[in-house]
Copies of this chain bind each other. A is one copy, B any other.
Amino acid sequence: MSNAPPVESQKPVEIEKIVDAFDSSDEAKIVAICREAHPGDVEEAFERLDEPNREAILNFLPVELIAELGDYLPAADMEKRLQTLPEEDQAEVLDSMSDDELVDLLQEVDEEERRSDLIELLPEEKQVVSEELLQFEEETAGGRMTTAMAKIHEDETVGEVLQSLREKKEDTEILSRIYVVDGDDRLLGKVRLRDLAFSPEETRVLEVADRDLTAIEARADQEEAAQMVARYDLLALPVVDADGRLLGVITHDDAIDILEKETTEDMERIGGIGGERGDLAYLQTSVTGHVKRRFWWVLVLAFLALASGIIMFAYEDTLKAYFVLAIYLPMVIAAGGNTGGQSATMIIRAMSLGELGPQEFRRVIFKEMRIGMILGGLLGIFVALQIQFLLPDGVVDEGISVFRIAIVVGLSLLAQITTSTLFGAILPIGARAAKLDPAVV
């Protein structure tokens, strides 16, 4: 008989089915579907619930299901539910979580005392790991890494290593992250299980190791780590301290999470949405929460637009005399916003994808200037022609030169679009240069 019994995996279940079960308020049905479905699917169904509903459902899920979903549900919800449990159940849930998710949950706890209490519920080994991981800022490689990996000493033989790994084999993730270190824990390379399995037992592990030292420092930004995983197609990226000592790994699935989160932030900034999204999905966020994140920019942009209004007002006499200009004013204003948005979008995305470095900034600005001039020139010519040849009779008072109006509107569009395109590019580049987040502006 094999000592690895066949595993019946949790099946993917259509999210709609889980949501329907949630909506039914039938406790038995909900528990059953949460047990059957993959935790990833349950997580996604939870993303469609508002806070009272999430709380209600979590409150009647049995502890063993809470433990299983621990790595998947929002940390704040988990912490809330933990508070309702007796200590031994809290300990069970915490112990079942992977160390990186556990640390996310601990970071969610604001009260120092409550956090210590939670840590004390953990087995000693996990206490040490948690304390270590908590030292790193949340958004750094160290703050996102897991210590679930196998660290083996350079002098060990293939046989010795296989023997020790055999004991860990139920820990599914570890065996795809086997690293060789020296006596000081410094990273020397990585070993794949296949190289061990297919090599003579007496071989020293370093001989079959891939001396790949690709790693990231623990204090580096998590986005940099995720980009390295993407660029080098890694399963896991080792995280080291300043002396090259192996501390943990960033895994391929964490990299996807990080990239998704950073991309969401970029998009929200481009869309004029402020603040942090945090853990919560769109439907999980309350109306007040949404309003808070949007109102600030609406207000700022409204008062910026007031500037255009004041300029317009200052030219009262001109505008009243050449009232046909009023037709084209909204166009000039909108074209500025639109083209600035276009170039900002392009540059922010290119920076996030690592396509642009500081060396390229001059070229980018020069390029956007040319693009802006061409866009502005084209639209300017288009609209000038329209004014010159397609303006209905009676729109322009007698005695006013249509040709002059066409030239003025055309040139305004050229100037407005060139400037806006240029600024759309300069703002994110300037923010990056000033070491701010490029998408904040």
A residues within 8 Å of B by Cβ? Answer: 2-4, 6-9, 11-12, 15-16, 19-20, 38, 40-41, 43-44, 47-48, 162, 165-166, 169, 172, 175-176, 189, 192-195, 197-200, 203, 206-214, 228-233, 235, 252-253, 255-257, 259-260, 263-264, 266-268, 270-273, 281-283, 287, 290-291, 294-295, 297-299, 301-306, 308-310, 312-313, 316, 319-320, 323-324, 326-331, 333-335, 337-339, 341-342, 344-350, 353-360, 363-364, 367, 370-371, 374-375, 378-379, 382-383, 395, 413, 417
Establish whether residues B253 and A40, one from each chain, have CB atoms under 8 Å apart when the complex forms. no
Cβ-defined contact, A331 with B355, below 8 A: no
Given A48-B356, A298-B335, A378-B295, residue A273 in contact with residue B345 (CB < 8 A)? yes
A347 to chain B: which residues have CB within 8 Å? Answer: 282
Chain B hits for A213, CB < 8 A? 9, 11
**Cα A329 to Cα B326 with chains together (Å):** 11
Q: Which residue of B16, B271, B305 contacts A335 across the interface (Cβ within 8 Å)? A: B305
Report yes or no: A359 in contact with B210, Cβ–Cβ below 8 A.
Answer: no
Chain B residues with CB under 8 Å of A271's CB are 270, 341-342, 344-346
Assess the B41–A231 pair: CB atoms within 8 A.
yes
| A228 and chain B: residue at smallest CB distance | B12
- Complex Cα distance, B413 from A291, in Å, reads 16
Note all chain B residues with C-beta closer than 8 A to A197.
162, 193, 197
The residues of B that contact A200 with a CB separation of less than 8 Å are: 2
Shortest distance from the beta carbon of A56 to any chain B beta carbon, whole Å = 17
Which residues in B have their C-beta under 8 angstroms from that of A211? 6-9
> Are A330 and B356 interface neighbours, CB within 8 A?
no
Q: Which residues of B contact A166 (CB under 8 A)?
A: 198
Closest CB in chain B relative to A311 CB, distance in Å: 9
Judge whether A305 and B330 touch: CB under 8 Å. Answer: yes
Structural contact, A268 and B194, CB atoms closer than 8 A: no
| 19 sample A-B contacts, Cβ–Cβ < 8 Å, listed by A number | A2-B208, A8-B211, A9-B211, A44-B354, A47-B354, A48-B355, A235-B235, A264-B353, A267-B267, A271-B345, A273-B342, A281-B353, A299-B382, A305-B334, A305-B335, A309-B330, A313-B395, A330-B330, A330-B333
A287 x B2 contact (CB < 8 A): no
Best-surrounded residue of A12, A176, A199, A358 (most CB of chain B within 10 A): A12
Q: Which of A206, A233, A324 has the most CB of B within 10 A?
A: A233
What are the nearest 3 A-B pairs in CB distance?
A271-B345, A9-B212, A282-B350
Q: Which residues of B contact A206 (CB under 8 A)?
A: 6
CA distance A302 to B329 in the complex (A): 10
User: Which residue of chain B has the shortest Cβ distance to A216 in the bound complex?
Assistant: B12
